[in-house]
Amino acid sequence: MVDSSQAGAGAGADSTSGRLLVQIASYNTNLQGLLGVPQDLVDWLAPTLQVSNFLSREHRAPDIVAVGFQELLPLHIGLAGLSKSVINERDTHILSQIQAHAPGKESYSLVAKVVNVGVALLVYARDDGVARNICDVQTQWTGTGPMFMGNKGAVGIRFRVRPSREDSDGVGETYTFVCAHLTAHEPRLADRIADYHHIVRTLLFPPLPGSNSTAPSTLYATSHLFFLGDLNFRLVIPGTHPLSGLTLRHEFANALEQESSREELKEFDQLRNEMRKGTVFAGFREGEFWKFKCSYKYELGEIDKYSTKRVPSWTDRVLYATHSDSVEAPEASNITNLLYTSIPAYTTSDHKPIVCLLLLPAPAAISYESPPTIQLPATYTPTPDPYASLKRYIGRSTDRVVGICWWCFALLGAGSAVVGIFNFFLGLGAWRWWRWGSVPASNSA
């Protein structure tokens, strides 16, 4: 893991030559729909101004920008498949903000966007650089909820970047971005781990170019891999710890003000501990998340006030891997983590958005017949689920049935499904009473 202060020491203009700068942002908007990001996005999506001195003497705009959302809109609307207008509005808003605040007024193009219920991902690339070499763009989605529904799950975008050198006959490298929302609540750790492995087995892409296989490929079959979202892993404070217990939630929040306390508390982070055990996210690295305060759970409308209903936790995360990382050094990476932080000013959700700025290793000088892929421990071999498509479409069909029924009840209840159900049965009872009362009248006639 490399912290931003260390990253800047040797990252001058010469050392970044040929290295792509990738900016990744994630936000659980708490089912707010179009109201989820009502304010200007400069603090969240234009952080390069804060770290430009790490890169060169001149400001540098990111080459690739990936933005992920969870709980993008009210659940019944997402389940019913009515998310198109929201994701299109987000696309327009984000693109305008990136271009308005780019250091050199660089222009960007949308590479791809994908949404499944409330999980969405949008990826953009600079027009004067990497966008000219992008090809083979693919999108994918999968659900991990009951009956494989999409109330939890993941979406993914993969593309290939051809070599920029005209004399190269190689295929280049592949980039895969995955945005996920895993099972909530502290005790459900096993469900979160199961969610992840279900995503690996069912979020499938076509075979890589140049490979001899005709089987679908998992998210690991890529040169660079980025996994972001509300992963919902929690801090589990032992009962013997001085900050354990409901009555000490305020003291716990105060302790989070100090980086030294956060660095101590990180040892109780479920995700960090499970990665060390090798049960989840094999091959991934992460920046020093304890450098910023826990991104969840805040009081709505508050910049810096935690809710006492939950133990504050780093639920929102960005993990990454690159093909040149070694399995022998599981915490070292050839990706330089320049920035990893949360943005406190956003107050419409109980989560704070996070942003990460990553400087990738320069492309290899050799030409590959097939794109290089992530190195994994010998003990872990991701395997595609042969029933992945069936499971995905069972989930999609269930989503639509539940969502449309829920939407109809909400319509009857003027926005409340509970009121709608009450109105439905009230109306049904009134209709049956009317029918019962009209029978004697017709008989007597």
What one-character-per-residue DSSP string does 308-354 give?
Answer: TTS--B--EEEEEEETT--TTSTT--SSEEEEEEE-TT--SSSB--E
Peptide bond into 105 cis (omega under 30): no
**Spatial CB neighbours of 338, under 8 Å, sequence gap ≥ 6:** 4, 7, 8, 11, 51, 54, 55, 357, 358, 359
pLDDT at 368: 80
Dihedral (Cα; 292, 295, 298, 302), 10-degree rounding: 50
Burial 340-365 (b: 16+ CB within 10 A, else e): bbbbbebbebbbbbbbbbbbbbebee
What is the fold, at CATH topology level, of the domain defined by 4-234+269-393?
Deoxyribonuclease I; Chain A (3.60.10)
Cβ proximity of 205 and 140 under 8 Å: yes
**Spatial CB neighbours of 140, under 8 Å, sequence gap ≥ 6:** 114, 155, 156, 157, 158, 203, 204, 205
pLDDT at 221: 97
pLDDT at 290: 97
Number of Cβ within 10 Å of residue 105's Cβ equals 9
pLDDT at 434: 73
pLDDT string in tens for the chain (445-residue length): 333 333 433 333 334 668 999 999 999 999 887 676 756 777 888 777 666 555 555 578 999 999 999 999 989 889 999 988 899 999 999 999 899 888 888 999 999 999 999 999 999 999 999 999 999 999 999 999 999 999 999 999 999 999 876 656 789 999 999 999 999 999 999 999 999 999 999 999 999 988 888 899 999 999 999 999 999 999 998 888 888 776 567 888 889 999 999 999 999 999 999 999 999 999 999 999 999 999 999 999 999 999 988 999 999 999 999 999 999 999 899 999 999 999 998 888 999 999 999 999 998 777 788 899 999 999 999 999 999 999 999 999 999 999 998 778 766 665 665 555 555 565 656 666 777 766 655 444 4
Instruction: Indicate the length of the chain as a whole number.
Output: 445
Q: Record the pTM.
A: 0.90
Residue type for position 297: K
Q: Shortest CA distance to 51 belongs to which of 22, 17, 82?
A: 22
Distance separating alpha carbons of residues 126 and 216, to the nearest angstrom: 29
Strand order across the beta sheet in which 224-230 lies: 134-143, 153-161, 173-181, 224-230, 316-322
pLDDT at 12: 37
And the tokens for 238? 């032992």
And the tokens for 177? 């971005």
Strand-pair partners of 337: 358
Place of tokens 């009872």: 429
Q: How far is CA 367 from the centre of its chain?
A: 32
Residue type for position 85: S
